[in-house]
Structure 1
Amino acid sequence: MKKLHLVSLGCNKNLVDSEVMLGKLKQYELCDDPAKADVLIVNTCGFIGPAKQESLNTIFSLHEARKKNSLLVMAGCLSERYKEELTHELKEVDLFTGVGDYDKIDEIIALRQNRFSSSTYLLNEEERVITGSNAHAYVKLSEGCNQTCSFCAIPNFKGKLFSRTLESIEKEVRFLVAKGFFDFSFISQDSSSFLRDRGEKEGLIRLIETIEAIEGVKSARILYLYPTTTSNALIERIIASPLFHNYFDMPIQHISDAMLKRMKRGAGKERIIEQLTLMRQAPNSFIRTSFIVGHPQESDAEFEELLAFMKTFRFDRVNIFAYSDEEDTSAHAMEGKIDTKTINARIKKLDKLVAEQTMQSLKNEIGKSVTILIEGESSEHALFMGARELLWAPSIDGEILVNDSDVENVRIGACYQARINELAGDKLIAAITALA
């Protein structure tokens, strides 16, 4: 049997597309060693500078490691965004494909022809090979984005918003439940715009109602809410749901009205604070956000306003990004670029606050009885099992170390009640008390 080595870079939306490719290439045996693979695929990220460089470095590394007569395929966002330049200049790669043909990857490899479809790919009837868990799966709601953020190039190579039908999503979730999956994260570039391209303003509320009616779904969360399309009604419906966690992932990027306007974010400071306050009032709420530091024309006063806001509002997790000057964005043409030294100094200040808030969020869990999902051996030591609080999103919100159990034969992919006993470094330590 021929062997396949696949590397999925970037976001979890990319991961879903990689899982589609794995589903189309089931005739291959997966292997971890690129030197033994007959086919090597890199699903690239083309969002910002560091992600683009990581994609290229991965290509070069795999090219150096691969065996003679193997096939190196470059797929995904970076390949799509720079298809003209890369197909002519990147001689290390044998085949190129973009973001519209994940379900045709078997044909592309068989024919050994580059392919860049003009249409947007959305999962329909294709069977994915879910990776990383036997309990959790990501479900993509839509592709593309209708927002016009000054710093973001995604609409240029992903296109306008294109939502899946609710029937398609329901069918996929039912199929995954039948295979044993019970925990779901619903994702897209702008999840709160789901179905707006089909004339429905509150598509996520309909999604929640649909998923709640599926027997076997035990846990769900929505990732990537956008301030201008997240209504109070949606927040209240999430809070009222017996199934969806009070998990709110809304990248706000800044809090200064002037900066939000330059970033073309739509919602201003007052509206964002109204949304965050409503989210924080929810029982057991968990709020994740992200900030961009060093966007053109960000003044010292505007950055200090962001710092002051961080001191007054408690987030559970925060991602910080240095502004990346992308050539096909409106920010690229702006005057008032911020130098790297200033950006790094600002990030250092913000990092300190974020670290304090993250530690406080973890400390708040000590003494609680929570539902955890066992994910496997811990990253720390073989004596511990690794878990996450079921409320949390996989991979990004942290790991809980399980060092004791009142339940025998603890299983990977199963849920348990656990008591959080202490915090060691940035890891919570828990003991299982009962089946969930």
Structure 2
Amino acid sequence: MKRFHLISLGCPKNLVDSECLYGQLSLSGWTSVSTPEEADVLIVNTCGFIQPAVEESIEEILQLAAFKEVDPQKKVVVVGCLVQRYGRLLLEQLPEVDLFVGTEGVLVISGLLDTVYRDEQPERLVIPDRFLMDAAVPRQLSTPFFRAWLKVAEGCNNCCSYCLIPAIRGPLRSRDVHDLVKEALHLEQGGVRELSLVAQDLTAYGLDRDGSSRLIQLLEALLAGTNIAWIRLLYLYPSGVSEALLEVIASEPRIVPYLDIPLQHVSDSVLRAMNRRYGRRDINQLLARLRAVVPGAALRTTVMVGFPGETEKDFAELIEFLRLARFNHLGAFAYANEEGCAAEGLAGQVDEETKQQRLDAVLSVQAEISADIQQRAVGSIETVLVEGVSRETDLLLEGRTRYQAPEIDGCVLINDGEASPGDFVQVEITEAHVYDLVGRIVP
């Protein structure tokens, strides 16, 4: 029996890759085991997007390598973005690793692991050609059976000055609409009730095929071809959110009223330096249109502080905007120079202490906004998708409303009533915390 243990790091798109690795290996006679001690081959699917992710990946690799010290027969294999980004630099720095494979290794992973297992792998570094998954690729879900991610495209053409994704993942490559419906239908047949569409930029889906976005066409095909109850959209580029897309979201109850639109900043000068294709006026118009067409929608965004050239005035503008915009959910992080990015050489680098102060200020403002928005939900009755027993205590159940994305936002803690994972239940919200809600199941 050939046994492997796989750890997946990074974003949901990376998780889909890991699920395809699971599927391919299982089909080829490999058996997944839950602990490193049981495994013959230890695999980590890495993230290399920003420095903290690189450090997390290195730490995980070294932890797996410690099992190899105890049992030298074990093999350590590193795949994914870290390998694609650093390539041969890793060979000397991580001698404990038996094999490095780039981001496109799904179709060749089983053969590579076989050769490593037999001590016959001629090269420690393999960077396969670009690959775009389709519905025929075996996939084994690592999420609960009732929810899944659907990766609709690979790569990105936006070329933001702080981002390495185009260099790591390559240019935009969109999957075929019919192929995506086929995969979604297969997921539905396996019990999936919530499908989250992901790409580096969902609004760019299809641009590489005929020059126009096919996101609306994809949504219509998914609605017609499946009965999946909740379809969720993540990572919408601001200037790509059209009036037609908003109208589809507003008119289709199965598309949850939740939009993840990473803005990064609102200062025109900072946005230009980031190479983002919009400004403050465009953002204001977008939010006004969105709230008019899809009233009550939950909005999530991401902002970056301390970008080179960000002045106190720019930061004050960002804080003022956040207070006015009142996002339901917000992710924030401090800019860090990444080797190979255009922003690395920009003037006006902000010191680390100032970055941290600005990050703390953003998070503090958002905590106030979130607490107020959450409190307004008390007394309402919401449809909740039950995840299972709470991560905090087995005395509570845990679930999510349409306004909470899996593994990203807060949750609903259920303190009264019975339900099983994957059930949709009606919950009366009785209490609100800063990010989570509390309620009881009602008939």
TM value normalised by structure 1: 0.95
> Which of 156, 181, 184 does residue 145 from structure 1 map onto?
156
Amino acid in the other structure paired with 2:273: R
Residue of structure 1 equivalent to 2:67: 65
Cα displacement (A) at 1:196: 0.4
Matched, 1:81 2:81: no
Residue of structure 2 equivalent to 1:47: 49
Gapped regions of structure 2 (runs ≥ 5): none
Q: Is the 8 A contact 1:145 1:155 kept in 2?
A: yes
1:101 and 1:222 mapped to 2: Cα distance? 27
> Which of 250, 253, 256 does residue 239 from structure 1 map onto?
250
Amino acid in the other structure paired with 1:46: G
Deviation digits for residues 104-124 of structure 1 (CA, Å, limit 9, x no counterpart): 211110123442113133334
Residue of structure 2 equivalent to 1:16: 16
Matched, 1:397 2:409: yes
1:382 and 1:191 mapped to 2: Cα distance? 37
2:25 and 2:269 mapped to 1: Cα distance? 49
Gapped regions of structure 1 (runs ≥ 5): none
Q: Is the 8 A contact 1:41 1:75 kept in 2?
A: yes
1:120 and 1:322 mapped to 2: Cα distance? 32
1:28 and 1:376 mapped to 2: Cα distance? 30
Cα displacement (A) at 1:363: 1.6
Matched, 1:305 2:317: yes
1:248 and 1:183 mapped to 2: Cα distance? 15
Distance verdict in 2 for CA 1:381–1:308, change over 3 Å: same
Q: Is the 8 A contact 1:232 1:275 kept in 2?
A: no
Matched, 1:111 2:115: yes
Q: Where does 1:332-411 land on structure 2 (aligned, <5 Å)?
A: 332-405=344-417, 410-411=419-420
Deviation digits for residues 257-314 of structure 1 (CA, Å, limit 9, x no counterpart): 1111111001111111211222233233010000111111111110111011111111
1:261 and 1:425 mapped to 2: Cα distance? 34
Amino acid in the other structure paired with 1:388: R
1:54 and 1:208 mapped to 2: Cα distance? 35
Cα displacement (A) at 1:144: 0.6
- Range moving further from structure 2, 144-153 or 29-38: 29-38
Moved over 6 A (4+): none
Q: Is the 8 A contact 1:222 1:249 kept in 2?
A: yes
Distance verdict in 2 for CA 1:97–1:304, change over 3 Å: same
Q: Is the 8 A contact 1:101 1:121 kept in 2?
A: no
Amino acid in the other structure paired with 2:219: I
SS at match of 1:119: coil
2:393 and 2:112 mapped to 1: Cα distance? 42
CA root-mean-square deviation: 1.5
Amino acid in the other structure paired with 1:85: L
Identity score, percent: 36
Residue of structure 2 equivalent to 1:286: 298
2:402 and 2:241 mapped to 1: Cα distance? 24
1:47 and 1:280 mapped to 2: Cα distance? 32
- Range moving further from structure 2, 234-243 or 371-380: 234-243
1:269 and 1:32 mapped to 2: Cα distance? 48
2:13 and 2:215 mapped to 1: Cα distance? 18
Q: Is the 8 A contact 2:193 2:422 kept in 1?
A: no
SS at match of 1:35: helix
Residue of structure 1 equivalent to 2:341: 329
2:129 and 2:357 mapped to 1: Cα distance? 42
TM value normalised by structure 2: 0.94
Q: Is the 8 A contact 2:258 2:402 kept in 1?
A: no
Q: Where does 1:134-173 land on structure 2 (aligned, <5 Å)?
A: 134-173=145-184
Residue of structure 2 equivalent to 1:205: 216
1:133 and 1:418 mapped to 2: Cα distance? 21
- Range moving further from structure 2, 384-393 or 249-258: 384-393
Q: Is the 8 A contact 1:280 1:287 kept in 2?
A: no
Residue of structure 2 equivalent to 1:421: 430
Matched, 1:97 2:109: no
Distance verdict in 2 for CA 1:426–1:249, change over 3 Å: closer
> Which of 31, 34, 41 does residue 32 from structure 1 map onto?
34
2:32 and 2:411 mapped to 1: Cα distance? 27
SS at match of 1:413: coil
> Which of 224, 232, 236 does residue 221 from structure 1 map onto?
232
2:442 and 2:108 mapped to 1: Cα distance? 47
Amino acid in the other structure paired with 1:131: S
Matched, 1:431 2:440: yes
Residue of structure 2 equivalent to 1:186: 197
Distance verdict in 2 for CA 1:424–1:288, change over 3 Å: closer
Deviation digits for residues 84-137 of structure 1 (CA, Å, limit 9, x no counterpart): 201333111111111111232111101234421131333341121111211101
Q: Is the 8 A contact 1:143 1:162 kept in 2?
A: yes
Q: Is the 8 A contact 2:146 2:193 kept in 1?
A: yes
SS at match of 1:346: helix
Amino acid in the other structure paired with 1:132: T
SS at match of 1:393: coil
Cα displacement (A) at 1:200: 4.6
Q: Is the 8 A contact 1:99 1:121 kept in 2?
A: no
Tell me the number of residue pairs that the alignment of Structure 1 and Structure 2 aligns: 431
Cα displacement (A) at 1:345: 1.0
SS at match of 2:7: strand
Cα displacement (A) at 1:70: 1.1
Cα displacement (A) at 1:236: 2.3
2:211 and 2:217 mapped to 1: Cα distance? 9
1:124 and 1:334 mapped to 2: Cα distance? 42
Amino acid in the other structure paired with 1:58: E
